[in-house]
Amino acid sequence: MSSTSPTPDHGAQPAVTVSEVIKSYGGRRAVDEVSLEVRRGEFFGLLGPNGAGKSTLVEIMEGLRKADSGSVTVFGESPWPRNTALLPRMGVQTQSSAFFVRQTVHEHLRTVAALFGADPGAVDATLDAVGLGGRHGIRVDSLSGGQRQRLAIASALVHGPELIFLDEPTAALDPEGRRDLWEVLRGLKAQGRTIVYTTHHLDEAEALCDRVGILVAGRLVVTDAPQNLIGTFGATSRLLVPLGRIDEQKAASLPGVDGVTVQGGHLVLETRATGRVLAALDPLTGLDGVQTRTPSLEDVYLDITARQSQAPTPLTTDNTNNQEQQA
C-alpha cells in the first residue's frame, strides 16, 4: 500500500454523495430513489438481503454502472462517464474482480500497481497486509477462493486510494482470515481513508462501521451508527435460564418480562428491563448459569428487514446526520 495517507477532514465535502438514484433492470427497480452521503474518513457499511440492490448501488458509486436518474458525486465529481481523474483516488474490489490469471500473485499485483502508476515498493507490503506474503510465486489460477479474494482486496489497495469500495470482501474468508482483514480495514480507517463496503456479516458491520445503511428491495430504509440503531430499534435483551429452575408461567409473570420461550436447554426471557428481571430471578433460581444476551445489530437488522419486506416505509433518519446538520 502507498505510504501517503489522506488527511482526515471530517468537515470537508463528503467523499460520496448519492442523490435520488434510481436504477431499473427490465422495468424492475434494483435501486429505488436512494440518497445518502459518505463522509471523508468514514467506514460505511451497506447491508441488506440478497437482491436488495447493494452491488448495483456500489457499482453506480464506483462509476461502473450508469444510474437511470439521480446523481452521484465522488469527491465532488461525477464518476460517470468513466472519470479517469478519480481512478487513482479510488480502490475497487467487486464480486467479479478481474485477474491476470496466468501471472503469479506478485506479477499480478505489480501489473495492477503499474497500471495505477503506484510505487512498486507497495506490492510486497500490500501482499503482506492481506496475508499473501508467502504466496508471491503462485499462479493466480491456482489460488483458492479465499486467496483470490485477498488478492482482489490487495488490487484495490495497492495504489493507496483515499476511497475504498469493497463488495463482500470477507465472504470467502475463513474466521481467522476475516479477523485479519478486520485489522487491515481498521488500519486503513486509522490512516484517514474512507471505506464503503457491503457485507452479510452483521457482527462485522457492528464492529467496524461508523454508520450502516440498510437496503431492502432497492430502498434505503435507514442509515445510522450501529449503536444508534440498536438504541432506537433495540430489540429486547434475552435472559437464558437453564430449564428446570423456574416454570414457564411463573417466569412470564415476573415484572419486566415481555415473553418466554423454550430454546435448547433454556427458558428464554425477553425483556427491556434486564436489571429488574435479574433481581426478581435471583431469590427464585439464583443467577448461576443465567446468561444475558444484549441486542445486537443482527437482531435489529433481522427485525427491520422482516418488517420492511412486508410493509416498506421510511424509518427515522440518521441521528448523527441530524445532530451535525443542526449544529
By the rule CB under 6 A, 25 interacts with ligand ADP: yes
DSSP string, 42-100: -EEEEE--TTSSHHHHHHHHHTSS--SEEEEEETTB--TTT-TTTGGGEEEE-TT----
By the rule CB under 6 A, 214 interacts with ligand ADP: no
C-alpha cell belonging to residue 222: 435507514
Q: Which is nearer to ligand ADP, 93 or 236 (CB)?
A: 93
**Closest approach of Cβ 30 to ligand ADP, in Å?**
3
Question: Which of 263, 66, 85, 65 is closest to 74 using CA atoms?
Answer: 85
By the rule CB under 6 A, 93 interacts with ligand ADP: no
By the rule CB under 6 A, 201 interacts with ligand ADP: no
By the rule CB under 6 A, 54 interacts with ligand ADP: yes
Q: Which is nearer to ligand ADP, 48 or 213 (CB)?
A: 48
Residue from 55, 73, 194, 285 in contact with ligand ADP (CB under 6 A) = 55
Residue from 1, 15, 16, 30 in contact with ligand ADP (CB under 6 A) = 30
How do strand 163-167 and strand 90-93 relate by DSSP bridges?
A: parallel
Instruction: Please count the other Cβ atoms lying within 10 Å of the Cβ belonging to residue 137.
Output: 9
Residue from 10, 51, 102, 287 in contact with ligand ADP (CB under 6 A) = 51
**Closest approach of Cβ 131 to ligand ADP, in Å?**
25
By the rule CB under 6 A, 61 interacts with ligand ADP: no
How do strand 43-47 and strand 211-216 relate by DSSP bridges?
A: parallel
What is the Cα–Cα distance from 226 to 319, expressed in whole angstroms? 11
Using an 8 Å Cβ cutoff, are 38 and 194 in contact? yes
Helix (H) or strand (E) holding 166: strand 163-167
Q: Which is nearer to ligand ADP, 84 or 96 (CB)?
A: 96
By the rule CB under 6 A, 52 interacts with ligand ADP: yes
Q: What is the size of the binding site for ligand ADP (CB under 6 A)?
A: 10
Q: Which is nearer to ligand ADP, 30 or 208 (CB)?
A: 30
SS3 at position 193: coil
- Where are the alpha helices (H) located in 234-287, listed in sequence order? 248-252, 274-285
Question: Which of 280, 290, 292 is closest to 245 using CA atoms?
Answer: 290
Q: Which amino acid appears at position 226 of this protein?
A: P
Q: Which stretch binds ligand ADP (CB under 6 A): 54-62, 69-77, 139-147, 224-232?
A: 54-62
**Closest approach of Cβ 193 to ligand ADP, in Å?**
23
Helix axes 175-190, 145-157, angle to 10 degrees: 10
Q: Which is nearer to ligand ADP, 27 or 244 (CB)?
A: 27
SS3 at position 175: helix
Q: Which is nearer to ligand ADP, 57 or 254 (CB)?
A: 57
Q: Which stretch binds ligand ADP (CB under 6 A): 46-54, 112-120, 136-144, 254-262?
A: 46-54
By the rule CB under 6 A, 235 interacts with ligand ADP: no
Residue from 45, 48, 160, 161 in contact with ligand ADP (CB under 6 A) = 48
By the rule CB under 6 A, 56 interacts with ligand ADP: yes
**Site residues for ligand ADP per CB under 6 A:** 25, 30, 48, 50-56
